[in-house]
Amino acid sequence: MKQKEITIRYNEYTSKELSTLQSNLIKQSVKAQESSHSPYSNFRVGAAILLDSGEIILGSNQENAAYPSGLCAERVAIYTCGSNHPTKIIKLIAISASSSQFDINEVLAPCGACRQSMLEFEHKQKADIKVLLKGADGQVVEFNSIKDLLPIPFNCDELQNVS
């Protein structure tokens, strides 16, 4: 048996330490929450994606009474990029969440399905996608790649070997 270890690195910022670009993208992710359709969970999530062209694409979570038919904000935003901007490179995604029913006191990370979907786009474009996660009290955590959030992924290259 071999025991191995996976280590990831990330940066923690206060709101005052963010660059203008990072701060703007976080603000856009908060703005995206306004279009959230979350009458069942009262948990609003917003995502803002920065493309290499400078365009910002927004997404918000969309719930449905027929669970699990809804879609997370991250996938709404990333699939919008895939549909409307298939040749552009995704540079950065900022994600924020809020609720009128409970306090969010820590940085919340994307679900597994969103991580896998974002990783697929990172793999497709052959370029890392940075991730900013907004926490409470202005705390922001930055990951340099989706691979940092999903270090042992289901690799889409393996599907090419299926006959």
- Could you say which residues of the chain have pLDDT below 70? 156-163
> Tell me, what's the pLDDT at 155?
74
Name, in order, each residue with C-beta under 8 angstroms of 32's C-beta and a sequence gap of 6 or more: 46, 47, 48, 58, 59, 60, 73, 77, 96
User: How many domains are there within the chain?
Assistant: 1
Assigned domain for 49 exists? yes
> Tell me, what's the pLDDT at 136?
80
Assigned domain for 123 exists? yes
Closest CA to 57 of 23, 82, 22, 21: 82
Assigned domain for 161 exists? no
Share of the chain above pLDDT 90, in %: 83
> Tell me, what's the pLDDT at 62?
98
The set of catalytic residues is: 74
Show the domain range for 43: 11-147
Closest CA to 38 of 81, 108, 100: 100
- The CATH number of the domain where 109 resides is what? 3.40.140.10
Assigned domain for 105 exists? yes
DSSP-derived letter for residue 25 is H
Retrieve residue 42's tokens: 């009262």
> Tell me, what's the pLDDT at 145?
97
Would you say the pTM of this structure is higher than 0.75? Answer: yes
Assigned domain for 4 exists? no
Query: What is the rounded distance in angstroms from the CA atom of residue 45 to the CA atom of residue 32?
Result: 8
Assigned domain for 78 exists? yes
